[in-house]
Structure 1
Amino acid sequence: MGESLTATQTRLILPALCWSRYRADFYAVTADLSVTGLRFRSSVVPSLGEILSCSIRHAGSMEAQVIEGGKEQFITRVIRAEAPLPVIVRRLLDLAAEQNGAEVPQRVHPRFVPDSPDILVTMSCGTRIPARLLNVSASGAALRIDIRLEPGTQITLGRTPATVARCFDDGIGAAFLQPLPAEDLGPHVLL
């Protein structure tokens, strides 16, 4: 446990139950979270490419693919989760902050300011509200909007489905239901 973490890793210790179609249930413990993926420690080390279902205490259930393995540890990349991926990442980072007693970086993807910041937000009832994008990333956007929206509210930004992830003065942070493709990212983005 005395190993040091890199600047891109955040220590996170949570018990997990993992299984797959070809493997019996086994216990693992998360070790850290990084842009590479979620590292687990376990006496069972799944094969590279294996798809696991994992139930992580306080974080929820997810499907993940093993992308790296080693002695009593493996790294996974989340494929699907019970909530949108940005919401799961936020939950994991919040848990890490509680455990580590300090604020951890909240940026998962690089942010940029769009060339065309004006956008319409469509509510589930069909009502459209004008808003202004502050920044956009592959996983979500921050925007100024004149009404109060509660976290968890389903909305559409332009044509992109999203969920309200957080609220701040005069605006919201929204998590896209699916990450934007890399080729669509940049100041030229159209949601």
Structure 2
Amino acid sequence: MDDPLNGNHTRLILPALCWSRYRPDFYAVTTDLSVAGLRFRAASIPGLGETLTCSLRHAGTLEVLVVHCNKAAFVARVTRADVAIPVMVRRLLDLAEDQDSDPTPRRVHPRFVPDRPDILVTTASGVQVPGRLINVSASGAALQVDIRLEPGMQITLGRTPATVARRFEDGIGAAFLEPLARENIGPHVSL
């Protein structure tokens, strides 16, 4: 039998506990969903045409009909749910969308530990304090400073204008007002 999910499918990873009147409980994990149904990976594979009850974490309980199976996975079509099927489909699609979004900011530029980490930090009011660079990229730097600098403050790192982007326990993350030229980036960086 051809795999019914070779077309458009949406990635969805949810743990599930499945059972039926004729089989003991077993664990499975959804891998994706499509118009054909939900695909599950499991160590115990039910038979084609078997009806199961599956409790999916964060989604609810479903009654499903197995429409495709192979050695490691099976596809099941939802026949009944603890809510209306269109509501369940929307819930599953929302969960898939939540899983697809990546709230973790990604670094655009590589970070380097400078050969000369000591730097002079100057605030907009002219106060100068020594700092110690932790790392530097084309777009900013992380550094240790002994005074409290608030996010949004304008500062100068050496001769490079920047804004305090975030604070952490012993220092700050600063974003340069203008990215550094690629040839100026590396352990030899001079701000």
Please report the TM-score for the alignment, with normalisation by the length of structure 2.
Answer: 0.50
- Bigger CA radius of gyration: 2
Please report the TM-score for the alignment, with normalisation by the length of structure 1.
Answer: 0.50
